[in-house]
Chain A
Amino acid sequence: MSAAEVFNPVILLGIALAGGLGSIIRFAFSRWQGYLPWGILLANITASFFAGWAVIHFTNDNTWVAITVVGLAGGLSTFSSWAAATVQMSASGRLFRSALYTLLTLILSSTAAYFGLLLG
């Protein structure tokens, strides 16, 4: 891809709007906390499913792939919150919880992406 294609203003605007939208949905989800940060886990699973679906569904349209996968799914999901939660759990001695959260995040997000790719 050329620089003009990568930095197309329509794609940039779409990613910004979709990324912002995904972020406020994740922010609302993040209020659901308990034994684990369930809201963030749900946001990551939902985003992974949607990203898988969108990659296949918009396979011939780079603009929509960028807006939906990079923007919306990327904004809805988060890696930094996982890192923060697992470091804080580990630092306070809750190692089992930290490991469980990591395993659930990895397994459920990748499984959701698989079903998204399948249904896209």
Chain B
Amino acid sequence: MTSKDFYLVFVGGAIGALLRYAVGGILELTIGSNFAGSLSLLLVNVTGAMFLGIVNFHPRFASESKKSFWAAGFCGGFTTMSGIAIFLYQYPPLLAMPAAAVMFGFGFIGYAVGANLARASREVK
């Protein structure tokens, strides 16, 4: 861990957090606050997990600097676990628990899909 790694994680995390907020904000302005929270959580977490799968396996992101920026910084800042933890108390348990299970399930699948896509593109080359 060098100071350059910390700098890259800081910048990547800042951009990821801003983009997550922007996704939530745009959804709130377009579909209203009732569904924006849960939909934006699902969207950022699943796409963030999928992108991390790509970052971890695609040769384009192989350097340590790119891993620090994109994996630890951007993907970490873009996705959120605390958002899910709070979400569980903002909605009735019968709605929140299945929704959280769906997020975890799709997140797991999303990462596997991203990793396989990256591996497939590497083999094509």
* Interface set of A (CB-CB < 8 Å, partner B): 1, 3, 6-7, 11-12, 15-24, 26-28, 30-31, 44, 47-48, 50-52, 55, 66, 69-71, 73-84, 86-87, 90, 102, 105-106, 109-110, 112-114, 117
* Interface set of B (CB-CB < 8 Å, partner A): 1, 5-6, 9-18, 20-22, 24-25, 28-29, 33, 45, 48-49, 51-53, 56, 68, 72-73, 75-86, 88-89, 100, 103-104, 107-108, 110-112, 115
B111 touches A74 (CB 8 A): no
B18 touches A16 (CB 8 A): yes
User: In the complex, A83 Cα to B80 Cα: how many Å?
Assistant: 11
How many residue pairs at the A-B interface have CB separations less than 8 Å? Answer: 187
Residue of B9, B17, B85, B89 near A16 (CB, 8 A) is B17
B17 touches A19 (CB 8 A): yes
Instruction: Evaluate whether A23 and B76 lie within 8 angstroms (CB atoms) in the complex, with A66-B21, A80-B49, A84-B111 already known.
Output: yes
User: In the complex, A20 Cα to B69 Cα: how many Å?
Assistant: 11
Q: How far is the CB of A16 from chain B (nearest CB, A)?
A: 4
Q: Please name 10 further chain A to chain B contacts, defined as beta carbons within 8 Å, in addition to the given A69-B86, A117-B86, sorted by A numbering.
A: A16-B15, A19-B18, A27-B68, A47-B80, A74-B17, A78-B76, A80-B45, A80-B78, A83-B108, A84-B53
